[in-house]
Chains A and B, each alone.
Chain A
Amino acid sequence: MIRLLRQLGGDTRTGFTKLGRSSRFLLLALGGVVSVLLRPRLLLNQLYSVGVLSFLIISISGLFVGMVLGLQGYYTLSDFGAEETLGVLVAASLVRELGPVISGLLFAGRAGSALTAEIGLMKATEQLSGMEMMAVDPIKRIISPRFLAGCLSMPLLAALFSAIGIIGGEWVGVGLLGVDAGAYWGQMQAKLDFQNDIVNGFIKSLVFGFVATWIALFEGYDAVPTAEGVSRATTRTVVNSAFSILGIDFILTALMFGDD
């Protein structure tokens, strides 16, 4: 019993020190953002490897999710004779929820794990120490550009996901199942609210991008500098990002859509 308590206390303590270290890390990374803006080439390189390289997985997943929504939505709505509102259902689900959440999860799996592995390996091979000894701050040089790139990419990727998903829904709903194209697009435009749906979805994707990138970079920077340590850190990135994204999504949804 005492042992259990002691174990619990120890775990809590390591948990809190990790939280402390990661907060400090975040502050340093944010502090470096200004100097990144002065060297846009570092940022562009990272936008490419963090953002552009996730395009394909995001597009394909968005397409399939949209198609499934079209299918499922049609069967449910047609029971009530409300097929024309299919466009609203597909677009609202994507823009409010599925776009930010699924692209956040995919982003953590594709870009986040790659970031952790990259930073962890740089640490394990003493590249970060080497930079420090050359009087170059690795936070400013390596972390901050990646941080900014992650935060900028995620909203764009989520928007891409939703847009392609809406097209996928149209293929299935309008193309295969015979919903009227005018109704699909018209209802969608009439019912979707800019503030409620688009802006809130955008805020979600921004928050998820911030959190997923923070976790990925911190886990890499904090990794035990061995091959095994890096692989563990990569796993932690994916797991922790998934939990954080889903948990934060619930909180944000309750705050945003709670009172109407």
Chain B
Amino acid sequence: MDAQKYPTPHLVSIRNLSFSRGSTKIFDDVSLDIERGKITAIMGPSGTGKTTLLKLIGGQLRPEQGDITVDGQNIPQLSRTKLYQVRKRIGMLFQSGALLTDMNVYDNVAFPLRAHTQLPESMIRTLVLMKLQAVGLRGARGLMPNELSGGMARRVALARAIALDPMMVLYDEPFTGQDPISMGVLAHLIKSLNSTLGLTSIIVSHDVSETSLIADYIYVLADGKIIGHGTPAVIRQSPSTWIQQFMTGAADGPVHFHYPAKNYVDDLLSTGKRY
């Protein structure tokens, strides 16, 4: 990437970010950079705040502290109008799809186009069909969201996220609920969208194998901190037992699968108690 062309070398820069929900600190002084034109993955166990991070980048949540800069603009300080201007250039794929349930697949994908452009319907039709073709669901255009499977809904949501040809797409768990074929297709799609449209992508995921195949750079989050970052190769070689456990999916290690509880055998044997 030619750094001179842009106001900042990184499309997204996060500096000293802190954010809490109630009394739990979700982020504690986190800093990270997302390079232009690359696919950056943010990984971490369930509940570490990956979705929260995307919402902070999109300006839906305000940080307690720190700066979040997207394309040179400090998101928490933008006025509403300015923030909406930035959001038009960001596509977001929600974990749940977040399709509008009162309109069919076609109208869902057409929604951002109709809201933000004055294009004639014939042009909108062409664009919608192109985006649906890209996610393999051109034939499903007449279905309502409640007639789609979870995986299909996610792909429609992806078509909608790229409808306005954004500069950046935020993917929240794009791979969960996909069968192996559509998983592969989707991974390929994210990669090719990124290179052909010149996008910048942020993938939030706990799907280690698929994500590390297409990511250019990985950040690993845990307990409100970044515990490791680097290219997939570097991360795989990481000496940290924590990262090793996460990457290989072992139940034993520094991260505990179980919620704290008393000894299992004792618990089973104490038959007098009701629960």
Q: Which A residues are closer than 8 A to B by beta carbons?
A: 121-122, 125-127, 129-137
Q: Which of A125, A132, A133 has the most CB of B within 10 A?
A: A133
Q: A131–B160 Cα gap in the complex (Å)?
A: 11
CB pair B94–A129 under 8 Å, yes or no, is yes
Q: Mark B64-108, 1 if CB is under 8 A from A, else 0.
A: 000000000000000000001101101010111011110000000
Q: Nearest chain B CB to A136's CB is how many angstroms away?
A: 5
Which of B11-19, B111-119, B186-194, B255-263 touches A? B111-119
CB pair B60–A129 under 8 Å, yes or no, is yes
Interface residues on B, range: 20 to 34
Which among B55, B87, B95, B101 is the interface contact of A134 at CB below 8 angstroms?
Answer: B87
Tell me the nearest residue of chain B to A126, going by C-beta.
Answer: B98
A126-B98, A130-B100 known, 6 other contacts, Cβ within 8 Å: A125-B98, A129-B98, A133-B90, A135-B88, A135-B112, A135-B116
CB pair B112–A130 under 8 Å, yes or no, is no
Tell me the nearest residue of chain A to B87, going by C-beta.
Answer: A135
Q: When A and B form their complex, what is the total count of cross-chain residue pairs whose Cβ atoms lie within 8 Å?
A: 48
Q: Answer whether residue B232 sits at the interface, using C-beta atoms and an 8 A cutoff.
A: no
CB pair A125–B101 under 8 Å, yes or no, is yes
Q: Nearest chain B CB to A48's CB is how many angstroms away?
A: 13
Q: A133-B58, A133-B60, A135-B87 are in contact. Are A127 and B99 (CB under 8 A)?
A: yes
Q: A135-B87, A135-B116 are in contact. Are A126 and B94 (CB under 8 A)?
A: yes
Q: A126-B94, A129-B60, A129-B94 are in contact. Are A134 and B99 (CB under 8 A)?
A: no
Residues of B within 8 A of A137 (CB): 84
Q: Which of B84, B100, B101, B115 has the most CB of A within 10 A?
A: B100
CB pair A134–B60 under 8 Å, yes or no, is no
Q: Nearest chain B CB to A203's CB is how many angstroms away?
A: 34
CB pair B98–A127 under 8 Å, yes or no, is yes
Residues of A within 8 A of B85 (CB): 135
Q: A125-B101, A127-B101 are in contact. Are A133 and B87 (CB under 8 A)?
A: yes
CB pair A130–B87 under 8 Å, yes or no, is no
Q: List 19 A-B contacts (CB under 8 A).
A: A125-B96, A125-B98, A126-B98, A127-B99, A127-B100, A129-B55, A129-B94, A130-B92, A130-B94, A130-B98, A130-B99, A131-B100, A132-B87, A133-B87, A134-B87, A135-B115, A135-B116, A136-B112, A136-B115
